Structure 1
């Protein structure tokens, strides 16, 4: 078994997450890891006191973007460029390591994966996560996760990659969504591996309104279509929206029933319907304008 690196760069993206960033940074620098952690923070113009918290941890680089100028691929590429070390860890400011083994487990899996593209952590939902979204985290990262059967699955929320590999495969800067999906698909096509490290865990989740869910699903689908990765599926309302919404809602009902959260079923249905609508509309728009 190869030893873990004795120095890493940690790149953190932040925006108005003072409510979480103190806990996240404290957890980062309390890890069971004896090596050097070089901290780089790229902030999208926070106005909630985040800057003072970040500065107290003395980052090597602290970049504040102009409001409205955030482009994910561009920011991620900038993080890689600024990194002094070969191994670069990306961690969202609201993704708090669950314990002091998060980093060590992530690095151990990464260095011992042949021809690694990127390794990423398991995510568990926060206590205030609404049932429909907690169910999604369970489907993606839980012990009986559906993601094992998916064609491709990756999340940049908490991950590690090598700078030398990135130099061959930088992220696209023309996508506003799903840039990490496109990036890792491209690396996989070149023979690089992506790996979910279930022993490395961060606490991370978001709640969205049905309208926000539509916008996010549409944005992701546009980006997927622009990258040429639309799955083989019907784009009609009945086959692409109604039937998948019905199937998702049945699973949500079972999830809520088991956890005594049945009052959240109507909200879950509204979210699922808007997610499916957004996905179909996004695929169509992306294909038209791709």
Structure 2
């Protein structure tokens, strides 16, 4: 039921040291054109840069502070949603900028197409400074949802045994999403350190609800990772997904090599396609690409094996755990 204030949607943005890009993200959220009122909530976990000042420049933005030590991806979002007044909760991150001022009403229209849809996630496109490989990877990733934009578990037997089917049903990105508050009240975000959005999707899918993909509710969202950061991000994501979902997939050393070769051949093909237009501009990316791919697949491979269950190795490889300990 809509709040007495008439707020239909609450836009939630978790932040910590969002930097200069956060200003554009927040402005894009505030400039949404809708036929109904919405609010913007920034929940910050200890920013030391200009993030809080930017958030407080607009008196309509509600700011919630949480202690850095209390931050957790699932729990922090639940805190923000608990104080939200909207019938629907839209979620972006401090570096995910809505492309158009129709982003919010597009998400709402998509979720209202079917009352069984628990949540809608939208398309990501790369920022202008992203690499050729990142841009193409985002295109291909989200194209995979266009053939079946609304998904529900329709084959329980397949669901039990098919990891690919599970991954398709679980994928959900709260970098760009809208959920029903009424369903969140029954199924809040799990209090997990990583992949809280996919963990939530699993819960609502298993409860019989649907999820949907919106091709037209688009945000800019991409990262230019350094090589070691690429390894760490892949390690954290893979370790979290394996811990949450226990996907039954091959984890031998040959899997690492096949994945690296496959990604590298894919990217070499992409370079050849763009050589006539970009020429010499591709020289440095082409040199860096195989190394970047190796850092990605080796981080993911080691994360899936939970760092060989060695606490010291996990602490060394995990970026997320270093951040929680207050280290860069």
Q: Tell me whether 241-250 or 128-137 shows the greater mean CA deviation.
A: 128-137
Hey, what's the Cα distance between the residues in 2 that align with 1:194 and 1:98?
22
CA contact (8 A) 1:18 1:49 kept: yes
CA contact (8 A) 2:189 2:196 kept: yes
Q: Name the counterpart of 1:262.
A: 282
Residues 1:258 and 1:142: Cα distance change in structure 2 (over 3 Å): farther
Q: Name the counterpart of 2:188.
A: 170
Write the mapping of 1:230-269 to structure 2, written as runs, cut at 5 A: 230-239=246-255, 241-259=256-274, 260=278, 262-263=282-283, 264-269=285-290
Hey, what's the Cα distance between the residues in 2 that align with 1:48 and 1:254?
41
Q: Name the counterpart of 2:132.
A: 131
Hey, what's the Cα distance between the residues in 2 that align with 1:268 and 1:195?
33
Q: Name the counterpart of 1:108.
A: 109
Is the helix fraction higher in 1 or 2?
A: 2
Q: Name the counterpart of 1:217.
A: 234
Normalised by the length of structure 2, the TM-score is 0.78
Offset at residue 199 of structure 1 (A): 0.7
Offset at residue 14 of structure 1 (A): 1.5
Could you tell me which runs of 5 or more consecutive residues in structure 1 were left unpaired when the two chains were aligned: none
Write the mapping of 1:7-26 to structure 2, written as runs, cut at 5 A: 7-26=8-27
The number of equivalent residue pairs is 282
Q: Name the counterpart of 1:271.
A: 292
Hey, what's the Cα distance between the residues in 2 that align with 1:278 and 1:183?
25
Q: Deviations over 1:46-83 (max 9, x none)?
A: 22212111012225531233345421011111122111
Hey, what's the Cα distance between the residues in 2 that align with 1:38 and 1:104?
13
Normalised by the length of structure 1, the TM-score is 0.88
Could you tell me which runs of 5 or more consecutive residues in structure 2 were left unpaired when the two chains were aligned: 1-5, 150-163, 311-328
- Report the RMSD for the aligned CA atoms in angstroms: 2.5
Q: Name the counterpart of 2:199.
A: 182
Q: Which structure's CA Rg is the greater one? A: 2
